[in-house]
Structures are given as C-alpha cells and as structure tokens.
Amino acid sequence: MESPGEIVVFVAMAPALLAFDRSPGFVSALAAGLVFAELFAFSVFSWFAVAMATYASLPVWTGYAALFVLAPILEPQLVVASLARRALVSRGARPLRVAVSSALLYVGVEWLAPKLFGDSLGLALHPSPLLRQGADIAGVAGLTIVVWLVNEALAVSLRRVLARRGTSAGRSMQLSDRRSGSLRWKSAGEVAPPLAAAGLLVALLAGYGFLRLASLREAGEGAPRIRVALVQGDLSRYGQLAASFGTYEATRGILDVYFTLTADLLASEPVDLVVWPETVYPTTFGSPKSEAGAEFDRELARFVSASGVPLIFGAYDGELGREYNAAFVLEPEGSSRAAFDVYRKAALFPMTERVPRWLDRPGVRRVLPWLGSWSPGTGAATFAVDLRDGRRIEVAPLVCYDAVDPDLARRAVRDGAELFLTLSNDSWFAEGGGPQLHLVVSAFRSIETRRPQARATNTGISAGISATGEIAPVVPVHAREARVASLALASGETPYVRFGHRLGPLALAMGLLVLLGSLRGFPRAARRGASGLPGRGIRRPPTRCASRQRLVESAEEEIR
C-alpha cells in the first residue's frame, strides 16, 4: 500500500499553476484548464476508459473517446481554478490572495459538482499514516486544501527564481562578484518565505497525525474487538453465467462457492460476523420469484442458523414493482428461517444502475441495453446485531458506491453506527487502478468518522480497515479466499462528523467572496496616484532602485 504519492502530490500541481498564471487572456486560461483536465483524467482514469468499453461490449477506442469528452465533467474544478487565477493575476492580486481563493474554489467546486469517483488531491495522502489523520477534522477536502496551498507555495518560489534569473541575465556581465552575491542573497530571501510556509503546513499536518495516532492507539488498547470474515469468491458476470448455465445452476454454483469458503473458515477460527459481497445472491431475498428461489432462501437461513454467526450479504429487494440493490443482515433464529433486516443502496452509479427520468425512454434502452433500472434507497441506516458471545453492536451497511458519499457514513455514525460493513462489486472495473482507488476512498470514510470497516468484494480488493485508515488483511484482485479481519470498535464523534460536511459550501462561498472582492477592489487601486492617495499623484524621477524594480516586474510579467 506504500507509495510516493504523498510526496509527489505536494509538487505535482505546481506546473499547472505556473501554466494557469501565464495565460495571456481568458480564452487561453480556459484552454489551459481544459488541457489539464484532460491530462488529469487520462493519467488517473485510463482504466475507466477500458471499463466503459468492456461493460458496453464496444471497442476500447470508444472508451477513450468517451473519457476525452467526459474529462471536463470529471474534473471541472481545474477549469474553474484556471479562470479564477487568470482573473486575479490580471488584476494584480497578491500571491496569498490568489492561493487562498484558488484552494477554496477548488474544493468548493468539487462539492458543488460531486466527483464521480470521489477523487480529490487529498486521497494521495493515504499512504502516510501521519498525514492522512487530519481527515477527521475536515475530511478529504481539508487535506486537499493543504495539498493545494503547498503547491501554491512551490509555484510562487519557482516564479520568483525565474523572475530573478530573467532580471539578472541581461546584466550579468556588468555585475561584480560582490553585487552578484548580494542578488543571490536577495533571491534566497524571496524564495524562503513561501517554502517555509509550505514546510510549516506539512509539519502541522504531520504533528496532528502523530498526536492523533498516539491517542487512538491508547484508546484502542482496551477497546472491544470484533472478528469479521471477509469472503471473496472471485465470481463475476452473473448474467453471463445465467445465460450459459441457466439461472438456477448459476445461483447454485455461486452459493456453493461461498458456502464452502465460509464453512472452511468458520471451522478453523472464531468469527463474530460473516460478510459476503454486493449482489452475491443474484435474485430477490425474502420475496422469492419462484419455488426454487424460496428453497434458496431457506437454504441460506439453515446455513446461518447452523453456524450461529450472523451473515451480511448482497441481494435484490423488491417492493411495489420497484427493485433495489440491497444488503441483508441475516441472524440465526430457527432451522429453516432467520430474522433479517434490509438496507437499500442509496447512492446508485449513474447510467449503469440508475437512469434519470428524462432520459429513461424505451428508444434509449433499445440503443443502450445495459442501462440500469434500480431505485435508490432512502439513505443511511444502522442495525443492531446480536453476536454469539452476547454482545450487541450497531452496524451500518454501505453498498459499493455508497462508500464514495462521505455524508452517508457521517449520518450513519450520528445514528449510532460502530462498524461499517461495505459490500462491493468491483469486477466491472476490468483492469487497472479502479479497485485500488475504490478501496482508498472507502478507507477515508473510516478515518473521517473513526469507525472500523469490513469490506468484501466479489473479485477484490477485500480488506479490513481500522479507524486510523490502516488496511489489513487484504484479499487481492482475482483471489478466491476468505480472511478474518480483527477490528477494534470505537465510539465518539469526530470534528468531521459534527461540522466537517459544511466545508464544501463554506469554501465555495468564501472563495467567491475573495474572488469578487479582488475583482471589485483592484480597479479602484489601479486609479490611485503614485502618492498612494486617490487622484493625481506626485511624479518623481526614477531612481536606481526603481529601475531595478521595474526590471523585476517586467521579467515577472514575461513569465506570467
């Protein structure tokens, strides 16, 4: 899980910031934002292009073409940041004002137009145990602001270095060694403050992480633990299985794999809960569509009753002609029946799971037969589960895309959740970094709320996630395996659970205020005279220092 991402992300955006500031006009600023949106999308989401083409059974090039079109929609914050910076720089705004306004607008736009995969710059800090802990204050968006400001500081330093070189280059032959050293000292004095500010930001974030980890480890030493079995059968494409072998045989084969993996694990070590993936039971549960379906329901109930261990699994739920992607919490009760609760997935993936009403037409479905038809659930839910040892805990199911929405996890904790049970189907990612991204996004739900998480997927990655964001054990992609995650339960509310969800709208409002204030204020400032007072100023002959300052300003303008 370790990578240099937490280091690279602190410098990766600096070239983009320099390019944004050099845009001579708003058209070029718009073009720069679009270009970097495309670069970002293709560097991070190339796997999505393959996934789209594979899912729709189309050539791979169509997936890349779709990604090219979607890039500005996936990353609109880059376009907004470029335009805002052009407006501020053209009015002569100070670097601090430009940096703060850009950072606030960046995360504000991410909140206003939620990211399809929950991606944000702050996610890259997950490999660092120290730096990621700050998410319990303001979520991933708070980490993104820190990352952006560090990149801003680096960009300012680079800009000043380039400006100093541009100023002295034309006069290098006329400078004595003493004056050259003086200029180098002055250049260092210009570069040092922004770099020091960047270092201070990172140090503060790391210092908070150090203290937070120490307190969490101390609290976790005496905390109750729960052992959760994560079962990954490495089975996918249920529709193809049904088409090849028939619905009954496909369901029979899937259940046999999961029964065997679970029974073998339960026979080898103690387990408190068992978690199966999303839609692992590829039909409705509790409201069978046939006698064969009713027998499968009874078989599941007998298995849970015989094991004495509660089972959480994915299936379909139907009501009043609507069908839902759901998670069922099944507890032992009798030999042929079991008590169960059901949670209906609230966050449905666009198009493949849910289609907007204005687009849901028979003609559209004939052209795009893979469009989804599920209905969304009502939101976060928690369920009390009785364990074999007499304990009773509150669990909150999250089904696949639910884990991308931080507000669902936050509301579940406000309702008393002690443990997240995440059921996912990541097989449609096809290849690449999709499963890894989904895992990291899910991990931040645990960091933000300080609740552990048991995550089971059909083809990987399945894992246990601690309240500090540590991921272990891990069942990798395309492994057929069952593993036990021992997780320490936690309680209490983090600052994020109480207030952090307000950062997005607050950042957007503050960013716009700073931007509008700058745009309204600088024209008046530009009309001030040289005396610094409104009206005509007193013209003075240029001095040597003034001439040098003009050369510096001229070089800076060329770089911009």
The first and second tokens of residue 418, run together, are: 């002690």
Q: Please tell me the distance from the alpha carbon of residue 481 to that of residue 493, in angstroms, as a whole number.
A: 34
How is residue 173 annotated by DSSP? G
DSSP of 395-416: EEEEEGGGGG-HHHHHHHHHTT
User: Residue 185's pLDDT band (boundaries 50, 70, 90)?
Assistant: very low
pLDDT in tens, 279-331: 888 888 888 888 888 888 888 988 998 888 999 999 998 887 788 889 999 98
User: Residue 422's pLDDT band (boundaries 50, 70, 90)?
Assistant: very high
Q: Where are the beta strands (DSSP E) in 389-493?
A: 392-399, 419-424, 453-457, 462-465, 471-475, 481-488
Residue 210: its H or E element: helix 177-221
Q: How far is CA 356 from CA 118, 122, 351, 367, 455, in A?
A: 20, 30, 8, 16, 29
User: Residue 258's pLDDT band (boundaries 50, 70, 90)?
Assistant: very high
- Domains of the chain and CATH, by start: 5-219+501-559 (no CATH), 224-344+394-489 (3.60.110.10)
Q: Tell which residue, 78, 96, 98, has the closest CA to residue 87.
A: 98
Chain-centroid distance, C-alpha 485: 23
Find all residues with CB under 8 Å of 309, minimum gap 6, and list them.
Answer: 229, 266, 271, 272, 273, 274, 332, 388
pLDDT of residue 180: 43
Return the SS3 of 339: strand
User: What pairs with residue 482 in β-bridges?
Assistant: 231
**Is the peptide bond preceding residue 461 cis, with omega within 30 degrees of 0?**
yes
Q: Please tell me the distance from the alpha carbon of residue 526 to that of residue 519, in angstroms, as a whole number.
A: 11
pLDDT in tens, 477-521: 889 999 999 999 988 889 999 987 889 999 999 999 988 887 775
pLDDT of residue 182: 46
Beta strands 311-319 and 273-275 are parallel
Specify the higher pLDDT residue, 133 or 170: 133
Q: How far is CA 498 from CA 4, 137, 208, 420, 517, in A?
A: 32, 9, 19, 18, 30
Q: How many CB atoms lie within 10 A of CB 360?
A: 13
What is the dihedral sign for C-alpha 449, 454, 455, 461?
positive
Cβ 451 vs Cβ 467: under 8 Å = yes
Find all residues with CB under 8 Å of 293, minimum gap 6, and list them.
Answer: 283, 284
Span 406-420, average pLDDT? 93
Please state the pTM of the whole predicted model: 0.85
pLDDT of residue 375: 82
Angle at the Cα of 208 from the Cα atoms of 204 and 212, rounded to 5 degrees:
175
Cβ 461 vs Cβ 477: under 8 Å = yes
Specify the higher pLDDT residue, 158 or 335: 158
Taking 60 as the threshold, does the pLDDT of residue 177 lie above it? Answer: no
pLDDT of residue 537: 39
Q: In 206-242, which positions are buried (b, 16+ CB within 10 angstroms) versus exposed (e)?
A: bebbeebeeebeeebeeeeebbbbbbbbbbbebeebb
